[in-house]
Amino acid sequence: MVNFHDPDVIQKDFAFSTHFMHFSDGIYLWEFLTTLRFGWEFITGKRQFKWTFLLYATTRICALGAVITSFVGFNVTHSINCQQWIVWHLIIVYTSLASASVLISLRVIAVWNRNLIVIALTFGMALVNMGFLIYGIATVRSEWSTTSDTCLLENTYKSRDNITVTVSTDIAQLIVMMIGLWRCRRTMTASGIAQYLYVQGLIWLVVATLAEIPSAVFINLNLNGKDIHRANCFSVA
């Protein structure tokens, strides 16, 4: 059986996390650059401006900022103020997540034709999610390690709460949206339903939600860390 507390195993896990993060960041940079025209059309007036575009832009720009700060954290070769770095990194990341959560809530509300119960439910979940994200920023602790030449997070297991809540609220909103779309099934053909699901963004919400599940699973398993000991901050990113 693999000893996940073995230094060699932790080092291999860290190397894999580094390569995977670079790969993921590269995909986002490609996606960001290839879809710039959509945002530019709002800025230049080719598309009708809506206030929700501000949420969309916040999500995109903060996600880009998260990619940039993660590149810094993964490739720095000298000692840095790890506490400041991780706090600002999480602020950018969680701002993007919070904005995306509100956008999902608005989509769910639109599917349900502004049902008051659904409005209260979805925004309630979004607020709970934001509260846990703020808690995660307030409690994070990190410092530079001279032995591994990287930033170390103290007790990464504490982050399980805000990550689990984020995944849970996204899944809950996905279910609410699916129920709302299911109510419209009788008025459409099979091809019409598929097109409607695509337009309403359900497919992309499913993909985004599924992508969150592995991080929630691994941080709850806490393979490399211990309850009160340090773990490499990038091993659970």
Q: Given the structure tokens 């993921």, which residue do they identify? A: 24
Alpha-carbon gap, residue 60 to 70, rounded angstroms:
15
User: Which of residues 117 and 228 earns the better pLDDT score?
Assistant: 117
Given a cut of 90, whether residue 217 has pLDDT beyond it is: no
pTM for the whole structure: 0.78
pLDDT tier for residue 188 given thresholds of 50, 70 and 90: low
Q: Which distant-in-sequence residues (6+ apart) come within 8 Å of 163 by Cβ?
A: 136, 212, 215, 216, 219
Residue 129 near residue 212 (C-beta atoms within 8 A):
no
Q: Given the structure tokens 């390690």, which residue do they identify? A: 145
Q: 3-state DSSP call for residue 109?
A: helix
| Helix and strand counts by DSSP (H, E) for the chain | 8, 3
Given a cut of 50, whether residue 228 has pLDDT beyond it is: no
pLDDT (mean) for 34-57: 86
pLDDT (mean) for 47-60: 88
Given a cut of 80, whether residue 106 has pLDDT beyond it is: yes
Alpha-carbon gap, residue 218 to 157, rounded angstroms:
10
Nearest CA-CA partner of 103 in 46, 137, 57, 38: 57
* pLDDT score of 116: 92
Range from 61-75, 172-186, 210-224 carrying the lowest mean pLDDT: 210-224
The tens digit of pLDDT for each residue in 160-173 reads 777 888 888 888 88
User: Which of residues 134 and 202 earns the better pLDDT score?
Assistant: 134
pLDDT tier for residue 216 given thresholds of 50, 70 and 90: confident
The tens digit of pLDDT for each residue in 134-187 reads 888 888 888 887 766 777 777 666 677 778 888 888 888 888 888 887 776 665
pLDDT tier for residue 101 given thresholds of 50, 70 and 90: confident
Domains and CATH numbers, the chain: 7-236 (1.20.1070.10)
